[in-house]
Amino acid sequence: MYKTAFLFPGQGAQYVGMAKDFYEQVEESKEVFERANKVLDFDVIKMCFEENEELNQTEYTQAAMVTACVSILEAVKKKGIKADITAGLSLGEYAALVANDVLSFEDAVALVRKRGIYMSNEVPNGEGSMAAILGLDVETIERICKEVEDETNMCVQPANYNCPGQIVISGKKEAVLAACDRLKEAGAKRALELKVSGPFHSALLKGAGDKLSEELKNVVVNPMTIPYVCNAKAEIVLDVSQTKELLEKQVYSPVRWQQTMELMIANGVTTFVEIGPGKTLSGFLKKIDKTVTVINIEKMEDLEKLEGIVC
């Protein structure tokens, strides 16, 4: 049974200024940014703290987000707070693997730099799309996506099972738009095309997963200090021999976040600490189970919320 979980957000939560107060006030947090700059081919400190357009480009976002999340994680650890289990939404899984010592921070940030490039380049800009489907049951969404896929011979599939009433679909732009029309006819409250650079977590990203697999061959995975729940299967991982394959599959497989949270709750987690920019995961959790304790750590003053947590 696990009591406390550390959660890490994914791409989309980034903003200029994220983790800046930790960088300025916590030496260990500052060191994370400095370590990142030694392995990256761009200045992640400038990227995160100075106004720019590149931060929202996938090839830069991913390394910047992992750096910011791990920087904040160091401040949480300094408070003496420890997790029993970890998880991260999509990109956030890499920060989760740093938190349980499976990946070194340097390897994680270098990997996601390449992951971002591979994901950006796999499908020509404008050919793929994603859409958030609100207020419709899972079975109907899965069925309609399959029908559109069969009729058009174009990819469209669920990509993120976020929380009850919110599923994201992904695939060829034409198929995604066709599915959106049918899903609204079937009763979806809204079907909103997202401003993203590609059809993430769909079969169209298989090539990016293959390229990432080659990079993973050169990465050392260490024995985990605590388990984590993987996105691709929503299963508790106790054996790191699976980790590289799971990270490869994660690129082109649905993110089973709701199932991940439900699994954690079923295994005794009562306190969830979201570490990183925004409150996206906290919002999802409140829709999944209102009885659990949810704490988000985004700013220095948020550390006060951790007082009283027994680890």
Catalytic residues, by residue number, are: 90, 201
In the β-sheet with 166-172, what is the strand arrangement from edge to edge? 156-163, 166-172, 128-134, 190-193
For residues 262 and 18, give the distance between their C-alpha atoms in angstroms, rounded to a whole number.
29
User: CA-to-CA distance for 31 and 22, rounded, in angstroms?
Assistant: 10
Hey, what are 308's tokens? 């009283």
User: Cα dist. 82→100, 137, 162, 163 in Å?
Assistant: 10, 36, 25, 26
Burial class (CB in 10 A: 0-12, 13-18, 19+), 48: buried
CA 146 to chain centre: 25
Separation in Å, CA 14 to CA 19, 48, 275, 306 = 10, 9, 13, 23
Give one word for 234, left, alpha or beta, with left for phi > 0 and alpha for psi -120 to 50: left
Those residues whose C-beta lies under 8 Å from the C-beta of residue 72, and which sit 6 or more positions away, are: 19, 22, 29, 275, 276, 297, 298
Instruction: Please calculate the CA angle 92-174-253 and round it to the nearest 5 degrees.
Output: 30
